[in-house]
Structure 1
């Protein structure tokens, strides 16, 4: 499965970079395939391991003294798919080139 999610501290002002970095650090340290862009972090793996990382990312933000966190999550749940993070993008690139 692939999960795209964003974690946003609520009431922390406009500069939330350090809080978001704490969440992304959890994802990067998870060892699971991942990608971060300006809006979301995507992570790929089995249901339980991915959801555990999402939960840990939210908790990492809360541990910084943030009492309220907004979580937006979108999931592509498909059995037997691996390397979806890169394969899907590669397929679009192939279509655009040909």
Structure 2
């Protein structure tokens, strides 16, 4: 499964300039340390793996943000397709191939 998620502290926990990058870095570190394939973009982190391992990582990432903020926003979107792996890049590759036709 592919799961895109975004986790961020409330605005009261943001830096003076509104940045939440410190908290987000702690969340992404949890994803990176998991060893699961992932992709980081400006708005979401997408993780690939089995249900239990992906949601365990999302919980760890959320806990990292909860540690610095009394209130946290979490958005999750999942593509559940049993039997498929390598879709983190495979889905993009198929579209790029069609664009090149």
TM range (shorter): over 0.9
The 2-side partners of 1:77 and 1:92 are apart by 19
The answer to which of 85-94 and 6-15 deviates more is 6-15
For 1:27-46, what aligned pairs fall within 5 Å after superposition?
27-46=31-50
Structure-2 residue corresponding to 1:15: 19
**Normalised by the size of structure 1, how large is the TM-score?**
0.96
What are the superposed Cα offsets for residues 16-68 of structure 1, whole Å, 9 maximum, x if unpaired? 110000000110111001000000000000000000000000001112x3111
TM-superposed CA distance for 1:87, in Å, is: 0.3
The 1-side partners of 2:29 and 2:94 are apart by 29
Gaps of 5+ in 2: none
CA RMSD of aligned residues (A): 0.7
Which 4+ stretches in 1 moved above 4 angstroms?
none
The 1-side partners of 2:3 and 2:34 are apart by 14
Q: Give aligned pairs, total.
A: 97
Structure-2 residue corresponding to 1:75: 78
Structure-1 residue corresponding to 2:93: 90
**Normalised by the size of structure 2, how large is the TM-score?**
0.93
